[in-house]
Amino acid sequence: MEVLLKEDGAKGFAMARANDKRAGMMTYSIAGPELIIIDHTEVEQAYNGRGLGKQMLYKIVEMARAKSIKIIPLCPFAASMFKKSADIKDVLK
């Protein structure tokens, strides 16, 4: 499983791919030079329960740390992960 990050203008996403097929996507909006807002997470049904949402979130967190930016998790999945994962709270706005 690979997770790729891509940005285009004021939007970005993390995409999980398995065997050259999209397995999941987490989208975010760039709200400023030091802030992004995670707004949606989806995982294809065939890949449910494999931790893809967490992998995509951690890829975005890794990017946020590298760029010294904060994250607002509007997406219910991302918000719940920030509540239960102390190791990523450093990038929470």
β strands within 1-93, DSSP E: 2-8, 11-18, 21-32, 35-43, 70-73
Q: Which CATH superfamily is 2-91 part of? A: Gcn5-related N-acetyltransferase (GNAT) (3.40.630.30)
pLDDT at 15 over 90: yes
pLDDT band with cut points at 50, 70 and 90 for residue 72: very high
How confident is the model over 7-20, as a mean pLDDT? 94
Q: pTM for the full model?
A: 0.94
Q: Mean of the per-residue pLDDT values for the chain? A: 96
Q: Which residues contact 27 (CB under 8 A, 6 or more apart)?
A: 11, 12, 13, 38, 39, 40, 41
The residue extents of the domains of the chain are 2-91
How do residues 22-59 score in pLDDT, each as one tens digit? 999 999 999 999 999 999 999 999 999 999 999 999 99
- pLDDT, residue 28, reads 98
Q: Residue 91 in contact with residue 65, Cβ under 8 Å?
A: yes
